Amino acid sequence: MGIKKELGKKIKRMRIAKGYTQDKLSELVDISQKALSSIEIGENFVTAETLDKLIKALETSPEELFATNDVKDANELIRAINQNIALIGENSAKLEMIYNLTKSLVNYSA
């Protein structure tokens, strides 16, 4: 798979994880929803300016966005998730977001 498709998939996964619709993210990044869709499916590549805005809107880093060595081992994933939850601390709003996300994943049949 080419870099355009890989990056597009990663952007889509991060967008969904943040709970953003394409409309919301495209608004934050100041591009059209059609342009974002085209990026997510790998038809078009991002400009440097759009890439910078995506990194800020998705609250990520260039390293994380372009990382292709995602953690795949279940035990490592569980440890990483628990570390992230510990970093959130007692922030009820963020904990509720995690709860809702995990609840929807449990109910999601793929």
What pLDDT score was predicted for residue 109? 59
With 0-12 / 13-18 / 19 or more C-beta atoms within 10 angstroms meaning exposed / middle / buried, residue 29 is buried
58 with 78, same domain: the answer is no
Mean per-residue pLDDT of the chain: 89
CATH code for the domain in which residue 10 is found: 1.10.260.40
- Within 8 A by CB and 6+ apart from 36, the residues are 22, 25, 26, 29
Integer Cα distance of 41 and 9 in angstroms: 7
Distance CA 59, CA 72 (A): 22
Do 61 and 12 fall into the same domain?
yes
Clarify whether residues 80 and 62 are in a common domain: no
The last residue of a domain, from among 34, 50, 66? 66
Do 38 and 83 fall into the same domain?
Answer: no
Q: 7 and 42 in one domain?
A: yes
Write the DSSP string, 85-100: HHHHTT-HHHHHHHHH
Q: Are residues 55 and 97 in the same domain?
A: no
Q: How far is residue 13's CA from residue 58's CA, in Å, rounded to a whole number? A: 10
Q: What is the pLDDT of residues 77-105, one digit of tens each?
A: 888 888 889 989 888 999 999 999 888 88
Which pTM was predicted?
Answer: 0.62
Instruction: Domain of residue 52: give its range.
Output: 3-66
